[in-house]
Amino acid sequence: MQRFFFNKRLIIVLVTLIIGFVLVALSITVRNNRSTPPIIQQFGNDAAGLVDRVVSYPVSAVGNVGSSVGNLLNTYQENQKLKKQVDSLASEKVSNQAIKKENIALKKQLKLNKTLTDYNSVTAYVLARTPSSWQNQLIISKGSLAGVKKNEAVLSDKGLIGRVTEVNKTNSKIELISTENDSANRFATTILTSDGSVNGLITSYNSNTNRLIMGQIDSQKTMKKGDRVITSGMGGNSPQGIYVGTVTKIEKDDYGLASKVEIKPAADLTNLNIVTVAERTN
Amino acid sequence: MRISKIRYYYPIGLFVAFFLDGSLSEKFAGSFFTNTMSIESRLFLLWIVMGVFFAKVEHPYFWAFTIGLMFDLFYTGVIGPFFMLIPLILYLTKMMYSFFTPSFIVVLLIYLIDIALLTLLFYWINVLIGFTSLSLTNFISGTLGPTLAYNLAAFVILYLPIKSLMEGSSR
């Protein structure tokens, strides 16, 4: 009798292990090629997202009080600093408007209706962050009903933060650019140098120094520290011209052939409340 | 037969703890996930472990499977790891419970063993599927240590409230 129970327990454990590993393998393989998660999974996630809103509201209310007090203490210094910037901003804004108008007129003349820089934006707030060191994921409050699609670029008010990996009806998951996931889709980026532009890919992320690594660089133009990096719009997922960050270091890659560039991300990946999903229009 | 209130309180508390993990990680991401360390909040595991000692739960394994599956679906999108690990942790906790009488220190030590084991196994699975390439040394100093410290603090703060709630509603 004892023997029988031992076997039964062992079988349960083994079956659970096998089912578990099959599920892991399955979800890893379909993660990058499916268009949306299955209906049942979507339903579960939507229900969970709904409850999460109720729970996260008081937490964010308390958090907001804390940050408001913090902001209040810095207000005076910040005000002085900002006053200096405001004057120059007004003139920049006016010239920007003029250039935008000119751009639209020129596009009309060329009969260019849609270019790489055009995108529709969907604004969402962040519901939760995966409580895990290995998945750098956020859950945001908009899904396929609002027009979010898989693989679209996501930005904060400062710059690029990540990519949509899973879309449910009313919420979706974002993989941050700080991910170390081997199979994550990479962003095509351009370094704006003084004598042109250099194309490449974001290939990895160094979590110790908080730097993005850009590789696969196509030319040897003179890049220098402080050059700005934007998305290039190549590869079809992200629109062109989303600010990624600034160059901090340029060196040869591990084989000494091409350059490897370290980029300081513009967006603060640990302080995100409102994010924008950029949907390419062409 | 009178139905005890824990029947309703247990799942509600479990899900509140579960969603608090995500919300706290988002709100305090600046201090939870820095360059040198990261903290994994596991409040829902605290609820499950406390439930083993102080509550008469009807189907603990059902809730363990459910919450594990929810974690995989809602937070990570990779189905499997927590679905396997949470029932395993529950089983181990029940085994250890049979050797001890529950007191603050005993529950604390068992909870710490559970957290350490869960974090280690979850790290191992993520190395297998290529989500991280962190070395074991860096993992121990960067994730395991801070995670244990945070969950220890959460335990010390929440032990008495959860205990009195569970014992009160189990009668």
> Of all residues in chain A, what percent carry a pLDDT higher than 70?
92
pLDDT at B152 over 80: yes
Residue A88 placed within a domain: no
Residue type for position A128: A
Burial class (CB in 10 A: 0-12, 13-18, 19+), A143: buried
* Range with the poorest average pLDDT among A29-38, A184-193, B54-63: A29-38
A208/B35 CB distance under 8 A: yes
Name the DSSP class of B38: B
pLDDT at B95 over 60: yes
* Structure tokens that stand for B98 in this block: 């049979």
pLDDT at A282 over 70: no
CB A153 within 8 A of CB A238: yes
Residue A281 placed within a domain: yes
Packed helices B6-27 and B145-170: angle between N→C axes, nearest 10 degrees:
150
CB A101 within 8 A of CB A109: no
Domain ranges, residue A217: 119-282
Q: Can you tell me the mean pLDDT for A72-79?
A: 82
> Which chain A residues have a beta carbon less than 8 Å from that of B68?
none
Q: Which of A2-6, A9-13, A136-140 has the highest mean pLDDT?
A: A136-140
> Of all residues in chain B, what percent carry a pLDDT higher than 90?
45
pLDDT at B10 over 60: yes
A135/B78 CB distance under 8 A: yes
B130/A139 CB distance under 8 A: no
Our separate counts of H helices and E strands in chain B read 8, 0
pLDDT digit string, tens, across residues B126-137: 888 888 888 888
Strands A211-215 and A119-129: unpaired
Residue A83 placed within a domain: no
Residue A160 placed within a domain: yes
Q: What is the largest CA-CA distance in chain A?
A: 88
Residue A85 placed within a domain: no
Residue A109, min C-alpha distance to chain B (Å): 47
pLDDT at A36 over 70: no
Residue A16 placed within a domain: no
pLDDT number for residue A3: 59
B77/A27 CB distance under 8 A: yes
Q: B153: pLDDT confidence band, cut at 50, 70 and 90?
A: very high
Q: Residue A157 maps to which CATH number?
A: 2.40.10.350
ipTM of this predicted complex? Answer: 0.85
Binding-face residues of B in 57-76 toward A, CB within 8 A: 70, 72-76
Residue A111 placed within a domain: no
Residue A45 placed within a domain: no
Domain count, chain A: 1
Burial letters for B10-37: b for 16+ Cβ neighbours within 10 Å, e otherwise? bbebbbebbbbbbbbbbbbbeebbeeeb
> Which chain A residues have a beta carbon less than 8 Å from that of B70?
44, 48
Please state the φ and ψ torsions of residue A32, each to the nearest 5 degrees.
-95, -15
